[in-house]
Structure 1
């Protein structure tokens, strides 16, 4: 196996000492030492700049320079010695070696009369190189930390957020600091802000004021809470309400009592408008996709389904026309196989059509489609699935086509989650319609969600259900049941009474 190379420059005017070093390093079992040799200090400096060695072995007494002068000449423009230097001195020059280390030498060895230092030479070089690597890594880490700190300072200087601080005085929040961009972003002067405990909460939109103020006060009084974030509408100086993202840290004393809050306000009005536009676009795309699926299912049913039926009829006609003798037996067997393949293709076609747009949803309505899907789910997985549909007497405002297909897709997704992730053995479904709401609840007895679970950006199933419900102006809740399992509850306003969705 190839040994790692170490490039060593030996600056030594004594030929015998150079040969001894060469022999000692050549015997090392772990490293291959590639040597460059110089008899004078000037030659050594030239080789150090030209060959870029990993380490320099430097004799203190040279014909033209001493060791301290060599170290001074070796420094670069930044005043640093770019390569680790190990000083070789006589037994009477230990103080000189110490001075050399103060001037930048990495280590030193005393050249004893019996040349025992040669036995230590490979190990000392390896130690010096390790120390040099550690030093370089430390410098690199310090430089990266400095670069990061500089970048953070630039980011804070250019941020569009208003940074602020407030002293907590009982139930009041007394402003003590705001960044100078408060006036440029929100129109308020620092004079009317600082020290005014009545400045913040009256500016919150009346529809969300009580919940925002109450949530912040509850967060400050909860000893285990140090972070708070909320999105709400706040009044600009010109009187218009704009959306902001308020994120803060709660500073407490050793007893956990709140002392101060520091945070930032970020204007997110454009983001909220864009989210609204994206929801509308997503709803439109969802409707177009369902319409396209319906169209494709219809074309498959009418064209491909009819063709397969005709093929099977032709196969039966051909079988009837063949004589019942030994010569036609092979053809009859082929026709029988052909008929079986046509049946298989017909079943696949039906399954594709059902996946694209269940015909039972259009023919018999959502409750029947839910019961049919539950039965299919039980056949496929063996998991018990019971559906309970409750209709208010005299209720005529049934789910429209958009609500029906979206609730059906949500139901399919909950069944998929129950079979793939929860380990459930039973699923309970309740569907209820009345004049106030349309409600679909799906519960299983599986493992449920972890405590304090937050829907991740990669939880496409849960996010997809949430987006469908928001587009319909409803609400959706994911709750872990006390005895184990998960409950997904969707509530929609009756058709024609769309409200703002929440989740």
Structure 2
């Protein structure tokens, strides 16, 4: 299974107070005084044998490495151990506590009993081969990778090559004039700086991995090759019913899971993004291992290095199945609501037509009744007029009978 990055360093052991085994010689080395020796001449620099890597930085500023450095020196020759001790005494950037061992057995005992910042290992050990020492150290410390500096004689370069393969961080050619001793502090500081940078890189990668592996989305890194094989996928891929190993080992599995109706669209969009460098954005359906349908929104972009060269695709897949279900449910409710509104509207329109018809009939009836009432009113007025006329005529006749003409 591929990881986000290669972890290059290990967290330094917590310092503890421990007693050394028999033969362990603890030699604290104080800081050098201000009156340091003058710089070496150009002739001296020319006599120093080259290191494996020519990219050796100058001494870094104070604070990049611990002020107190514990070094385990494993070397059989007493004079060589004394020379190394004197060489480390010349540095003023950090204090060195040197623990010495005369053979590989003592060195393994000390390395397992106490914590060290680095180990200086001589190529010639009296009781075991240096490669055997590396193997046993890895077994006894459960694979802990301490910065190791190996001292190699000039006539055995093959030992240096094999030691690098076994995990040695640096090696230094032991010249007969002892010029290699001048580079001991520089290489120790470089090893510790590299270890610190590796540890910081590991912390950043762990933080980044924890972040992306806990977001509710599938994050992935895909190759730019024709197969577009995934190089990394987050654990959220298990929502599809597949483990990470199965998904990464089968390059065609991704497109096989996409529904056939959407597959061509996704392939064309991905090919266009590879060709133009545009953002890949696609929404499609995919079937999980157990037949569950998923709706995905897939977005990816090409990641480039500092020189602008395309390296890989980095993408995020969001599962919008629940959102799609909610949308479908809302669409269903909206459809039934529209149908209900339309039905009610039609009923209301029918009722309005009926009411308008009734209103028209009522208006006509009221108009007819008004005309009838008007005719009745005229008849009543005529009747009243006639009655008044009849009454007046009756009074005149009655007076003629009462008062006849004389």
Query: Which TM class, normalised by the smaller chain length?
Result: 0.3 to 0.5
User: TM-score, structure 2 length as denominator?
Assistant: 0.40
Which has the larger strand fraction?
1
What is the TM-score when the length of structure 1 is the normalising length? 0.33
Greater relative CO (CA pairs within 8 A, separation 6+)? 2
